[in-house]
Amino acid sequence: MDIIDKLTEIFKEFPGIGERQARRFVYFLMSRTPAYSENLSGLIVELKKEVAQCGECFRFFILNNKKEKLCEICRNPNTDNSLLMAVEKDSDLESIRKSRVYHGKYFILGGLVPIVEKNTKSRVRIEELKERVKKEKNLKEIILAFSLSPQGDHTDSYVRTQLKEVAEKLNIKISSLGKGLSTGTELEYSDNDTLKNALKNRQ
């Protein structure tokens, strides 16, 4: 396998990128100057140094202080502690934030639950979510915000089942996004008005 094929395989690991697009990325880099490639590789190295993962919500955030363990959302005293929204990934969280309609806390599950999967707990942070729910003293509602797809629906059902016992014990409501989202919609690509309606009509 030559260098072009090796880079193509790496780019294919990016979300939503297939063989053809991955190869186009490689040829694009080949057409750039050496300075461009050096700058890109340097930024990737710096990214790993300057970004940390929040100890509460598992969101990636820029470190302003190396001693910081929590992101600015979890540290913010104005964040609504009665609401906790579970999302698949960081880009979904950012889409919700941009809608400016939700002001509670978040939890990044780390993926969706495959419909046919025996070892589900190794694919998502369900145990960490359970612990988070137990620790939140003022929590009144958990909002499950997953894409409206068969896998998203399956994840919703799985998380509900896993949280049922602790939610009932602590008298916490579990809701899902309403039908402001059309079937098949990826959460990160939804516009602000659609997200607002989905949150407003959650059930």
85, 71 Cβ separation under 8 angstroms:
no
- The pLDDT value given to residue 29: 94
Residue in 163, 137, 132 with CA at minimum distance from that of residue 55: 132
Q: 121 pLDDT exceeds 80? A: no
d(CA 89, CA 53): 12
Percent of the chain with pLDDT over 70: 84
Cβ atoms of residues 163 and 129 within 8 Å: yes
Is pLDDT of 13 > 80?
yes
Distance CA 187, CA 72 (A): 22
200/99 Cα distance (integer angstroms): 12
**What CATH homologous superfamily does 3-53 map to?**
RecR Domain 1 (1.10.8.420)
Side chain identity at residue 134, one-letter code: K
Residues 6+ apart with CB under 8 A from 80: 103, 104, 105
Q: Is 107 helix (H, G, I), strand (E, B) or coil?
A: strand
Provide the residue ranges of all domains of the chain, joining segments of one domain with +: 3-53, 77-200
Query: What's the pLDDT tens digit per position in 141-194?
Result: 999 999 888 888 899 999 999 999 999 999 999 998 866 555 555 666 566 666
Task: Give the CATH architecture of domain 77-200.
Answer: 3-Layer(aba) Sandwich (3.40)
Q: Say how far apart CA 144 and CA 86 lie, in whole Å.
A: 5
| Reported pTM | 0.79
Q: How far apart are CA 133 and CA 100, in angstroms?
A: 24
Taking the CA atoms of residue 40, residue 43, residue 48 and residue 49 in that order, the dihedral angle to the nearest 10 degrees is 150
pLDDT of residue 150: 86
